[in-house]
Chains A and B, each alone.
Chain A
């Protein structure tokens, strides 16, 4: 088993990983950027090293300093969390070169699945259906030709992308040039890789993803699906739930089996997620995330499985402890992401000091967060400040419990997404279940009209 773990991340996920490690008796090493010196993840770890100044490129992405911190502290493993270096094959490789266990799949798998165009080729070979798409586009002209072939609307996507960054819907040739330039620049700024590809835009699909776990001995299990269709207009997820409501058993089973087949095809090790677009009875593979995801607690609560703990066990070389037949969902789980954002200003991130903070609790309510009263929300990083997850016997009960939890939540000092989440929970279409990914954009557009 891993003895000492360096957590190469910040915020709530660093706190989350620290918790799982301590539970397994693993000592922890935090890294932090200067503005995070007093941050909760820094304080909870057994040791902490400052790796750079505020901008992530010089701190949380500073590979030499992070690896040096791991070696100096005597850590034998590195957990990358999500974002930052989590899907950097190079970082995984450098860890291995220095004798450190990278908690995640092999660099080869990260490279294969991290490159979206390559990933589509791999899963197509495994028998999965993907949205018609192009190879990597060298120019706007090439993009225009591909778009003509599939027919507008099309979706421009960054091959290294994630979290909706570097992604643009394009409705006509006239919009293509601008979309291409901005998406490429955004991808370059966020992932240091501005390469784009294009695919046919499936209209009004649902976003359903499947959690998988694989060990080094070739076993792969799925831990059900999550419905993440409530997304901001920027395609970033806001509310997630499981099981996906109003999904036929045939589609659900198909999703699970496809996910396991794809993971087996690449000899996947660790925790991963395969994202699908569901349109009626059609299921299209979108991408695979080779890391723990923000919304992983939804699956943890529904199945009673600690995914981060499983990641650490698998990375330590242990076989999967669970068998597919023992993985059974119980009830319904909903998660709301609480971001320091102004929902009335197109979810613009906001900075400020948390003057007052009251978080919800009680039966079936879980809060994953790193925030404390008095904390300065820094403009340098992701705006996610807390995740509220509720578990109840049925979907209705879970939604009611979530609304009560949000009503109890008091965050003074910055704008948050608590209000918009409550509005969504009260929406009749969301209550009915099975909304498409453009549902929230529609709600917000209707607001604009009624103003």
Chain B
């Protein structure tokens, strides 16, 4: 998550901006989370904002405010409307709209094997490219990039044991 901007304090409220670059380009959805009372972690805020943004896009709404207890998140769409995603679109593509770093996770329990040559940090990864596989009972389960993006971090070592849901790679999605 190191490519996310830090929360910015603004008077007594904390505004969280995590797609500053995208907003400034005036191209895509901008989202902000605002801390109103109790402390909410940046990670939680990001998750909520991402959900709200997905709802905004799915419903083709200009603005969406989601309140949950003392936490509220507002999502606004910038002037240029985005195409309505077709129903078959995956969560990853909605996430790519936000330009938030995306984790590629293991679907299996087994030993992870990185492809040879190991992709380098910063490398541009095409959609569907195989980055590794998880060997589970002798079966090779490929781990493929669910979206196009730049490789930010490799979180595992070759041969390491992983379980279900273990983050393997961090990708920064490109449009």
Partner-B contacts on A (CB < 8 A) = 34, 49-53, 59, 64-69, 71-72, 98
Question: Complex formed: what's the CA distance from A64 to B110 in Å?
Answer: 9
Question: Once bound together, how far apart are the Cα atoms of A59 and B108, in whole Å?
Answer: 10
* Contact (A50, B165) CB under 8 Å given A68-B108, A68-B109, A72-B110: yes
**Pick from A50, A53, A64: contact of B136, CB under 8 Å:** A64
In contact, A64 and B164 (Cβ under 8 angstroms): no
A444 to B44, CA, bound (A): 46
B162 to chain A, nearest CB (A): 9
- Tell me if B111 is interfacial: C-beta within 8 Å of chain A: yes
A100, B161: Cα distance in complex, Å: 19
Complex Cα distance A67/B135, Å?
12
Q: Is the CB of A68 within 8 A of B110?
A: yes
Residues 124-159 of chain B, each 1 if its beta carbon lies under 8 Å from chain A, else 0: 000000000000110100000000000000000000
Contact between B164 and A52, CB atoms less than 8 A apart:
yes
Q: How far is the CA of A66 from the CA of B161 in the complex (A)?
A: 13
Chain B residues whose C-beta falls within 8 Å of the C-beta of A59 in the assembled complex? 164
The main secondary structure of chain A at its interface with chain B is helix
Cβ < 8 Å to A, chain B residues 97-136: 108-111, 136
Q: Is the CB of A51 within 8 A of B137?
A: no
B165 proximity list for chain A (CB < 8 A): 34, 50, 53
Task: Identify which of A53, A67, A69, A71 contacts B163 (C-beta below 8 A).
Answer: A69
Contact in complex: B164, A67 (CB < 8 Å): no
Can you list 22 A-B contacts (CB < 8 A)?
A: A34-B164, A49-B164, A50-B109, A50-B163, A50-B164, A50-B165, A51-B109, A51-B163, A53-B164, A53-B165, A59-B164, A64-B108, A64-B109, A64-B137, A64-B139, A65-B108, A65-B136, A65-B164, A66-B109, A68-B137, A72-B110, A98-B137
12 A-B pairs besides A49-B109, A67-B137 with CB distance below 8 A are A34-B165, A50-B164, A51-B109, A51-B163, A52-B164, A53-B165, A59-B164, A64-B136, A65-B136, A65-B163, A72-B161, A98-B137
Residues of B within 8 A of A (CB): 108-111, 136-137, 139, 161, 163-166
Minimum C-beta distance from A162 to chain B (A):
27
**Nearest CB of chain B from residue A48's CB, rounded to whole Å:** 8
7 tightest A-B contacts by CB?
A68-B109, A65-B109, A49-B163, A50-B163, A50-B164, A72-B161, A68-B136
A296 to B137, CA, bound (A): 34
Question: Closest CB-CB distance, A423 to chain B, in whole Å?
Answer: 37
CA–CA, A112 and B37, complex, Å: 62
List residues of chain A with CB within 8 A of the CB of B139.
64
In angstroms, Cα B110 to Cα A66, docked, is 10
Do A51 and B164 touch across chains, with their CB atoms under 8 A apart?
A: yes
**Quick one: given A50-B165, A64-B136, A67-B137, are A72 and B108 in contact (CB under 8 Å)?**
no
Residues of chain A contacted by B110 (CB below 8 angstroms): 68, 72
Please, which residues of chain B bring their CB within 8 A of the CB of A64?
A: 108-109, 136-137, 139
Most buried by A among B110, B137, B164, B166: B164
Contacts of A50 in B (CB 8 A): 109, 163-166
Q: Which chain B positions have C-beta within 8 A of A53? A: 164-165
Q: Which residues of A contact B164 (CB under 8 A)?
A: 34, 49-53, 59, 65
Question: Which has the most chain A C-beta neighbours within 10 Å: B109, B110, B136, B137?
Answer: B109
Q: How far is the CA of A66 from the CA of B165 in the complex (A)?
A: 14
| B-side contacts of A72, CB under 8 Å | 109-111, 161
Which residues of B lie under 8 Å from residue A67 when comparing CB positions?
137
CB-defined contacts of B163 to chain A, threshold 8 Å: 49-51, 65, 69
Q: Which of B110, B163, B166 has the most CB of A within 10 A?
A: B163
